Amino acid sequence: MNKIFLVLKREYTTRVKKKSFLLATILIPLIFPAVIFGIVYLGTNDGDSSKEVYVLDESGYFEDSFSNTGYTYTFLSSNLDEAKEKFQEDDVYGLIHIPEIDLDDASKTRYSDFSFYSKTNPGNQAMKDFEGEIKRKLEEVKLDRSGLDPTVINSLKVSVSLSSFNLSESGEAKESNTDLSSAVGYVFGFLIYMFIFIYGSQIMQSVLDEKTSRIVEVIVSSVRPFQLMMGKVLGVGAVGVTQLLIWIVLMFTLFSVGITTLGGGMEAMSGQMPAGVDMTQNQEMAANIQGMLDTIPVVQIVVSFLFYFLGAYFLYGALYAAIGSAVDSMQDAQQFMLPIMLPIIVGIISLTFVLQDPHSTMAVTLSMIPFTSPIVMMARLPFGVPTWQLLLSMAFLVLGFIGTIWVAGRVYRVGILMYGAKVNWKTIAKWFTMKV
Amino acid sequence: MNILEANHISKSYAEHRALNDVSISIPKQSIFGLLGPNGAGKTTLIRIINQIIMADEGEVLINGEKLNPRHVEIIGYLPEERGLYKKMKVGEQLMYLAQLKGMSKSEAKTKIKKWLDKLSLTEWAGQKVEDLSKGMAQKIQFIATVIHEPQLLILDEPFSGFDPVNANLIKDEILELRDKGATIIFSTHRMESVEQLCEHIAMINKSEKILDGTKKEIKNSFRSDKYKVEYKGDFSGLGAEYELLDTKHLEDGFYEAIIQSKNGHNPNHLLSQLIAKTEVHSFVEVIPSVNDIFISIVEGGNKR
């Protein structure tokens, strides 16, 4: 036990002292939100805010009625061929062509005759925007002509949104939020996937380094191979947990700082603005976030996350160690990587279906199998999982990682002393059964 | 008192039998040569003693006690394939390896300092191993092997990779350790080093022990009553008791001959005969070197 600790300590300190660790630990919490913010920013602003669009309106209904803010509209008064020519010459985003239409005679009107010309394929959103503009205007005109009272029409419209509740056994109804649950589920599932991938490779690299530098024979004359392997797995895991904790603290701090400065800014602004509209909106949003968080079992998720995080890490970490011991170089390791990565990939891919129906047979099954349960169960948890399922899945995971550690240990003890052997699955199976 | 006794050790890997009923005993404070060609099973035996692998059959006793995990602390092992953590600093590395051998931190610290001073490596303590020359790395490796003052030192091809100066340095250190009470096992297929250092020898070939004993006994048992004579002036007619195996004309009327004695007379008998016939300039019994014995056994399969 003491020796496992010595190995652990070495693995931990050499890693934590590295500059790359410091860099990754500090930069990722900064880069990650920056990237997300950037994507959101680009997504909402759609890059260049003043894309120019030509409109050739032969119907005469649309004069100056295009108002979507994302674009500047220039109306042309020529025929279609000339308009196309002009469009080709000028640096504009697109050309909308509205043919002559007769709104009174439904049989003569073909709404599919409207066209949009562009030099590149237009995005979905752009098409929807333009369609929306045209539809809105035509409806307006038709409504106007029909002589109906717009207020009557408006009063006929209803807007429905389903509120979803979880009804617990005690009859207590709790509002649930499907979108939030999905997001949380996906994020946690993905975090585990990333962690296995990054730290698993580190274990493998570390085993391989000891093997190729030939120090391993000296080490195993002092410690049992199993102690060496466990020390390594635990040491690298401790590095991962350290990194994760630092990330959580950093992100939380950044988040709080961001919220307070944002809130402060809002307050300052509301002082100048009439009737503090934004102020109330802001409070409403905060209340909303609070309410949304109440809908998911936060404590359960955090505790389970730590559990599955470590469980998955042990399960796969041991297998990575075994692969590292079996091969002589990273290239040789590739052939063994796929079968080990496969269950993880299945877990990640299945998330789409799991999040659609978190209580389907497939979702439940995958959340029981130790190789996929850390990812799938984490995704299911925000939707509420029966306690017995959670406990069963955890028990299976514990059995699972005990199993893989046992198997890996048997391969490892032989593999680390084998050089230049041509290794395939058959040799590994042989090592597994070999008496040492 | 034997520090190590290995009794009837057998070990198989899948279809291959690496060791077959091998027994050796190693007296305390001796230098023991474990000889054999590559692939004979030396490393397997060493790994069994180091508890890296386990014997299928037989047992190993250390100081009369069955091999157990505590014994790693009294054994120092220098494997044939050397290696250190390249990215780790010399001092930290030695500390780690010493602690793995069960030393306390403070104890290890003094010993590391002592050894680095002794091999004039002190100024390198803060350097990474990858920045060291190969010779220096080898010395560090040697320190790592002996840092915990092992009672039993197992050195697998210890001089490979050392330049002659460092090889001598290491040899002196080994002898000093022996004088202080350590027992040393040398595993090698290079016999010159054995000839000088070892008092006891065991030879392993094709998974079996084929020879065992003190160097003197073994050499004696391989004496073949041959004599090498250098003389001036040709002669003939030594009689039926002697056979002239080989004569070489050197120069200025000098000759060199190998003479086989067939009757077990002592050398004086032959010498007196020779003096009567020619002018003897040198007379020496041909005693096989360990190398000769090794080659004759391995090549001839000459089991005695």
pLDDT at A238: 93
Q: Which residues on A lie below 8 Å from B53 (Cβ)?
A: 417, 436
* Model confidence, pTM: 0.75
| CA distances for A433 relative to A321, A335, A416, angstroms | 18, 21, 16
Provide the 3-class DSSP secondary structure of residue B285.
strand
Which pLDDT score, from 0 to 100, does residue A353 have? Answer: 86
Exposure string of B258-286, with b = 16+ CB inside 10 Å and e = fewer, is ebebeeeeeeeebeebbeeebeeeebeee
- How many Å apart are CA A218 and CA A403, to the nearest integer? 28
- Predicted pLDDT at A295: 66
For the cut 90, the answer to whether the pLDDT of residue B152 exceeds it is yes
Cα angle for residues A357, A359, A363 (degrees, 5° grid): 80
For residue A10, give the chain B residue with the closest CA. Answer: B96
Phi, psi of B183 (to 5 degrees): -105, 140
How do residues A177-210 score in pLDDT, each as one tens digit?
677 777 777 888 888 888 888 899 999 999 999 9
Element (DSSP H or E) covering residue B198 = none
Residue A41 has pLDDT above 80, yes or no: no
A215 chain-B contacts, CB cut-off 8 A:
83-85
A220 touches chain B (CB under 8 A): yes
For residues B43 and A415, give the distance between their C-alpha atoms in angstroms, rounded to a whole number: 16
Choose, out of A7, A12, A214, A222, the residue to mutate when testing the contact with B (most B CBs < 10 Å): A222
User: Residue A204 and residue A207: Cα distance in Å, rounded?
Assistant: 5
Q: Can you give the pLDDT at residue A204?
A: 93
Question: What would the two tokens of residue A201 be?
Answer: 């490779």
Per-residue confidence band for A383, with pLDDT thresholds at 50, 70 and 90: confident
Of all residues in chain B, the one with the smallest CA distance to A14 is B88
Q: Where are the alpha helices (DSSP H) in A277-372?
A: 277-294, 298-326, 330-356, 361-366
Mean of pLDDT values over B152-174: 87
Tell me the C-alpha distance between B258 and B260, whole Å: 7
| A30 touches A49 (CB < 8 A) | no
Question: What is the per-residue pLDDT across A12-40, written as a single tens digit (0 to 9) for each?
Answer: 999 998 888 888 888 877 777 777 777 76
Within 8 A by CB and 6+ apart from A225, the residues are: A409, A412, A413, A416
- pLDDT of A277 reads 46
Answer whether residue B114 shows pLDDT above 90.
yes
Residues of A in contact with B144 (CB under 8 A): 218
What pLDDT is stored for residue B221 in this prediction? 82
**Among the partner residues A3, A14, A209, nearest to B100 by beta-carbon distance:** A3
- The arithmetic mean of pLDDT across residues A53-79, rounded, is 78
Share of chain A above pLDDT 70, in %: 82
Domains and CATH numbers, chain B: 2-220 (3.40.50.300), 224-286 (3.30.70)
Residue B40, pLDDT score = 86
Task: Give the pLDDT of residue B74.
Answer: 92
Would an 8 Å CB–CB cutoff place A140 in contact with chain B? no
pLDDT 10s digits, A298-335: 778 888 888 998 999 999 999 999 999 998 888 888 88
ipTM of predicted complex: 0.81
- Among A14, A209, A221, the residue with its CB nearest the CB of B52 is A221
Distance from CA of B258 to the nearest CA of A (A): 47
Instruction: Compute the distance between CA of residue B60 and CA of residue B68 in angstroms, rounded to an integer.
Output: 9
Residue of A nearest to B84 (CA): A215
